[in-house]
């Protein structure tokens, strides 16, 4: 029971994992992480090869959430990963392309994006953490979303006891499919509202609500408290470590690799959460050779990994892989903390430099540590569409735009290094979720169709099933058609909570 949690910045306390999950972000602005990284032997991995995804999840979660009982972990895992929530019995199935590469499909959850893997279990981790700490308050989850996170959080928290969730999305900032997914959301404890403006307006509004002391004290009188479901919560990171183990085990089971062989993962990266989970898996003892970070035209991470300079002062591109249109990669802070040997003073100063000047630079020594594990490159929109088309023709296999960025970056890596270790391309969304760009790649007269009709058309051309969560969205009952100005976010929330 020695594993505890601290933050990446100065002045943090040492707490248990359940507290870290409840707190979300440290008081000092830092991110929580474990004081040590649990070790896993090859014999342990060998034992996992024939285990179910659920048992692999229990194995990994128990190592990190060591103040949870076995019963509590079992409860969280079995509610999150089952045949009601994921359409594939393997939860995160592996699609082998050839003797040297495979695609890890993380998009078989209810919203067809990889965020489901973490957001299906987070509500259970959160409510279990509250119970463990004798906290009987109702947790009110507030989310500002540019698309994928809002819907995945709604599906995760839908009808979970002792929680309520309210999602604000920008009226002009999400796709039609994403909007329909949210405004038709089912569940008794959910609320969705459109806000006039862009994503930044919406996010700024939500941050203001989180910090509104009057509102917080009114919540307390109702025995309610705020929480957030965003990707810096440790409860979102730890479930993602599982699928790195699961894919490795599947390759061993299929005879594609031998236990102990070192493999590469190429990960389409935005906030650095997914690839950081891969780094934790490697540090635990999973035989990983390199982690290849794939960026779109917003290539701030590629530049950082190649030069040691993180500079967010650059043009922001709206790309066909919008979930990676990010210039501040929050989870990188955790990696820098680990690689600097827990140098809190350094991390505090790097992050304050990022805030004040938009830039920081790490030492050559720290950069060398980053580069000993990570490689990075980028792919633009033209590359992305061309790659979807080529993979579809060569392998009769359809990938989404984010996965295509990873595929292209893997090809560049292979060409420049000749490293032919087995490579797993991490696939983060169903091709139907980004149907416009996918149709452009595989359907000649795609512009003759409306955004929604394209789904049927992609199905006709590819034969891939339309996920049930995206099927005939326009036929569902709209439950949330409220649209407000950003000045009315507080009154809308008060109205929902009866304050």
Pick the closer one to ligand PLP by CB: 127 or 274: 274
Pick the closer one to ligand PLP by CB: 80 or 404: 404
Instruction: State how far the Cα of 85 lies from the Cα of 105, in Å rounded to an integer.
Output: 15
Size of the site for ligand PLP (CB under 6 A): 17
Interface with ligand PLP includes 431 (CB under 6 A)?
A: no
Interface with ligand PLP includes 273 (CB under 6 A)?
A: yes
Q: What is the contact mask toward ligand PLP in residues 34 to 73, using x (rule: CB under 6 A)? A: ----------------------------------------
Q: What is the contact mask toward ligand PLP in residues 289 to 328, using x (rule: CB under 6 A)? A: ----------------------------------xx----
Q: At a CB cut-off of 8 Å and minimum separation 6, what does 493 contact? A: 142, 166, 209, 215, 499
Q: Among this protein's residues, is 115 annotated catalytic? A: yes
Compute the least distance from the CB of residue 376 to ligand PLP, in Å.
Answer: 12
Interface with ligand PLP includes 408 (CB under 6 A)?
A: no
Instruction: State how far the Cα of 440 lies from the Cα of 457, in Å rounded to an integer.
Output: 11
Three-state DSSP string of the chain: CCCCEEECCCCCCCECHHHHHHHCECCCCCEEEECCCCCCCHHHHHHHCCCCHHHHHHHHHHHHCCCCCHHHHHHHHHHHCCCCCCCCCCCCCEEEEECCEEEEECCCCCCCECHHHHHCCHHHHHHHHHHHCCCCCEEEEEEECCCHHHHHHHHHHCCCCCEEEEEEEECCCCCHHHHHHHHCCCCCCEEEEEECCCHHHHHHHHHHHHCCHHHHHHHHHCCEEEECCCCCCHHHHHHHHHHHHHHHHHHHHCCCCCCCCCEEEEEECCCCHHHHHHHHHHHHCCCEEEEEEEECCCCHHHHHHHHCEEECCCCCCCCCCHHHCCCCCCCHHHHHHHHCCCCHHHHHHHHHHHHHHCEEECCHHHHHHHHCCEEEEECCHHHHHHHHHHHHHHHCCCCCHHHHHHHHHHHHHHHHHCCCCCEEEEECECHHHHHHHHHHHHCCCHHHCCCCHHHHHHHHHHCCCCCHHHCCHHHCCCCCCCEECHHHHHHHHHHHHCC
Compute the least distance from the CB of residue 199 to ligand PLP, in Å.
Answer: 14
Compute the least distance from the CB of residue 237 to ligand PLP, in Å.
Answer: 9
Interface with ligand PLP includes 270 (CB under 6 A)?
A: yes
Pick the closer one to ligand PLP by CB: 12 or 331: 331
Compute the least distance from the CB of residue 149 to ligand PLP, in Å.
Answer: 7
Residues 85 and 120: beta-carbon distance below 8 Å: yes
Instruction: Tell me which stretch binds ligand PLP (CB under 6 A): 25-33, 61-69, 113-121, 213-221.
Output: 113-121
Instruction: Tell me which stretch binds ligand PLP (CB under 6 A): 25-33, 266-274, 338-346, 410-418.
Output: 266-274
Interface with ligand PLP includes 103 (CB under 6 A)?
A: no
Interface with ligand PLP includes 387 (CB under 6 A)?
A: no
Compute the least distance from the CB of residue 113 to ligand PLP, in Å.
Answer: 4
Instruction: Tell me which stretch binds ligand PLP (CB under 6 A): 107-115, 198-206, 349-357, 365-373.
Output: 107-115
Interface with ligand PLP includes 227 (CB under 6 A)?
A: no
Interface with ligand PLP includes 274 (CB under 6 A)?
A: yes
Compute the least distance from the CB of residue 83 to ligand PLP, in Å.
Answer: 23
Pick the closer one to ligand PLP by CB: 101 or 271: 271
CA distances from 413 to 122, 246, 391, 417 (A): 34, 24, 17, 6
Interface with ligand PLP includes 378 (CB under 6 A)?
A: no
Q: Which of 17, 120, 181, 428 binds ligand PLP (CB under 6 A)?
A: 428
**Which neighbouring-strand residues pair with 266?**
292, 425
Interface with ligand PLP includes 402 (CB under 6 A)?
A: yes
Interface with ligand PLP includes 429 (CB under 6 A)?
A: yes
Q: What is the contact mask toward ligand PLP in residues 127 to 166, using x (rule: CB under 6 A)? A: ---------------------x------------------
Interface with ligand PLP includes 169 (CB under 6 A)?
A: no
Count of residues in the chain: 499
Q: What is the contact mask toward ligand PLP in residues 1 to 40, using x (rule: CB under 6 A)? A: ----------------------------------------
> Which residue among 56, 115, 151, 344 is the active-site one?
115
Interface with ligand PLP includes 269 (CB under 6 A)?
A: yes
Residue labelled with tokens 């979720």: 433
Instruction: State how far the Cα of 358 lies from the Cα of 352, in Å rounded to an integer.
Output: 9
Instruction: Tell me which stretch binds ligand PLP (CB under 6 A): 97-105, 112-120, 135-143, 208-216.
Output: 112-120
**Residues that bind ligand PLP in the complex, under the rule CB under 6 A:** 113-115, 148, 231, 268-274, 323-324, 402, 428-429
Q: Mind telling me the catalytic residues?
A: 115
């Amino acid at each position: 029971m020695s594993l505890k949690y601290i933050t990446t910045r100065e002045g943090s306390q040492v707490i248990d994992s359940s507290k870290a999950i409840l707190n979300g972000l440290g008081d000092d602005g830092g991110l929580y992480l474990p004081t040590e990284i649990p070790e896993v032997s090859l014999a342990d991995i060998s034992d996992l090869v024939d285990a179910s995804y659920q048992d692999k999840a229990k194995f990994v979660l128990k190592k990190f959430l060591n103040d949870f009982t076995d019963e509590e972990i079992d409860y969280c895992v079995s509610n999150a990963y089952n045949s009601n929530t994921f359409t594939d019995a393997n939860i995160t199935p592996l699609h082998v392309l050839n003797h040297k590469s495979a695609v890890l499909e993380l998009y078989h959850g209810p919203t067809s994006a990889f965020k489901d893997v973490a957001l299906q279990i987070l509500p259970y981790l959160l409510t279990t953490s509250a119970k463990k700490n004798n906290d009987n308050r109702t947790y009110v989850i507030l989310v500002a979303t540019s698309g994928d996170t809002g819907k995945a959080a709604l599906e995760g928290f839908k009808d979970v006891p002792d929680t309520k969730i309210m999602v604000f999305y920008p009226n002009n900032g999400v796709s039609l499919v994403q909007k329909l997914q949210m405004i038709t959301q089912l569940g008794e404890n959910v609320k969705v509202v459109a806000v006039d403006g862009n994503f930044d307006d919406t996010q700024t509004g939500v941050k203001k609500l989180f910090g509104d002391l009057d509102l917080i004290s009114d919540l307390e009188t109702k025995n309610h408290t705020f929480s957030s479901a965003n990707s810096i919560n440790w409860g979102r990171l730890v479930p993602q470590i599982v699928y790195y183990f699961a894919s490795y085990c599947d390759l061993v089971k299929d005879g594609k690799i031998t236990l102990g062989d070192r493999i590469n993962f190429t990960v389409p990266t935005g906030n650095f959460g997914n690839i950081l989970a891969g780094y934790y898996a490697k540090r635990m003892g999973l035989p990983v050779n390199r982690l290849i970070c794939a960026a779109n035209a917003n290539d701030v991470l590629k530049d950082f990994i190649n030069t040691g300079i993180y500079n967010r002062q650059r043009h922001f591109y709206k790309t066909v892989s919008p979930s990676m249109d990010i210039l501040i990669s929050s989870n990188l802070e955790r990696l820098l903390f680990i690689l600097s040997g827990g140098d809190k003073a350094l991390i505090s100063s790097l992050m304050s430099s990022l805030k004040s000047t938009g830039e920081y630079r790490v030492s050559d020594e720290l950069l060398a540590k980053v580069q000993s594990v990570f490689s990075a490159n980028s792919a633009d929109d033209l590359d992305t569409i061309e790659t979807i088309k080529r993979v579809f023709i060569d392998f009769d296999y359809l990938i989404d735009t984010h996965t295509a960025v990873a595929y292209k970056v893997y090809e560049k890596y292979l060409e420049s290094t000749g490293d032919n270790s087995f490579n797993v391309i991490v696939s983060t969304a169903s091709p139907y979720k980004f149907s416009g760009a996918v149709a452009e790649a595989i359907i000649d007269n795609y512009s003759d169709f409306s955004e929604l009709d394209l789904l049927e058309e992609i199905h006709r051309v590819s034969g891939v099933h339309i996920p049930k969560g995206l099927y005939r969205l326009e036929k569902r009952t709209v439950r949330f058609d409220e649209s407000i100005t950003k000045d009315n976010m507080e009154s809308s929330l008060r109205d929902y909570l009866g304050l």
